[in-house]
Amino acid sequence: MKYAREVTAAVLAPIAIWIVGWSHTYVFDAALALCAALALHEFLMLGEKKGYFIPVALCIVVMCFIVAAFVLEPVSVEMGVFVALLVIPGSYVFSRGRLEDALPASGISTMATLYIGMLGGSLIRLRSDFHEVGPKLVFFLTLVVWLGDTGAYYVGKKFGKHKMSPLISPKKTIEGGIGGLVMSMLTAVVIQMTFFKEFPLFHAIIAGAILSATGMIGDLAESMWKRSAAVKDSGTLIPGHGGFLDRFDSILFTAPILYIYWAFSQHAFTLNIIQG
């Protein structure tokens, strides 16, 4: 379908907006867990493409436990990490896979589970830890990253000549990256001036630039893993956008960065007020 990318965005965007901005916390958490499970499944399939035995069901269960640890007070996030580091490698002791594959296979399984679980959990915390501005932070993150990605796509398609990383992603260009950076910063300005006044304009612009740059790194990291497994897209569940890992790689990669930036910036503002 020629306009599959645009049609998919038009259909899913209203649902995503409602979930982020107005749904109950548990609805958001459940939606995030579902997306994370699908993204993890696609990630683990890259390992299987390389010929390794991957305990897919076990990894998804452990990942959901990690995500739950970000939601449930009695369960610490550290406990989720411990479970992943103990259970997944331990499962290979009873595996019938080849002994010489145990190190890379268990490494892929454990890393993928922690990668999706921890970064996905940080998105949950971004919405829940900062009370009334939490949904605005998630909107800021997704709009800055996704519109920046859209800007990079169209600018690169029109003006791209210099390859950003030809071995990893031949279609990504420096011109596209600059277009994405500019679009992310402009998006940050529009968001600040329309519905996120709590985010000082200067910091919104800086955060937009940082998220754009790191989002590109997250996207290239996923492209690197896909190229290593000799696949073009991690999946096909989202028409025009590939799989869930393709769509959410940059969001997962940048969520903890925005969390840290907002937390530190607010702390600095508080100190300035006290000192003043």
pLDDT in tens, 39-97: 999 999 999 999 999 999 999 999 999 999 999 877 789 999 999 999 999 999 998 78
Q: Which residues, 6+ apart, have CB-to-CB distance to 185 below 8 Å?
A: 205, 208, 209, 212
Write down the pTM of the prediction. Answer: 0.89
Query: In this predicted model, which residue has the larger pLDDT, 27 or 266?
Result: 27
Tell whether the model's pLDDT for residue 166 goes beyond 80: yes
What integer best gives the mean pLDDT of the chain? 89
Lookup: tokens for 85: 């580091």
Q: What is the 3-state secondary structure (H, E, C) of 90-102?
A: HHHHHCCCCHHHH
Nearest to 213 by CA among 245, 160, 253: 253
Sketch the domain layout of the chain as residue ranges.
Answer: 4-275
Burial class (CB in 10 A: 0-12, 13-18, 19+), 30: middle
Lookup: tokens for 184: 């992310």
C-alpha 224/C-alpha 231 separation (Å) is 10
Opening angle at CA 213, ends 113 and 211, nearest 5: 70
Q: Is the dihedral of CA 229, 168, 250, 260 positive or negative?
A: positive
174-186: per-residue pLDDT in tens? 999 999 999 999 9
Q: What is the pLDDT of residue 273?
A: 41
Lookup: tokens for 63: 């990942």
**pLDDT confidence band for 12 (50 / 70 / 90):** confident
Which SS3 state, helix, strand or coil, does residue 262 take?
helix
Which SS3 state, helix, strand or coil, does residue 247 take?
helix
According to DSSP, residue 238 is labeled B
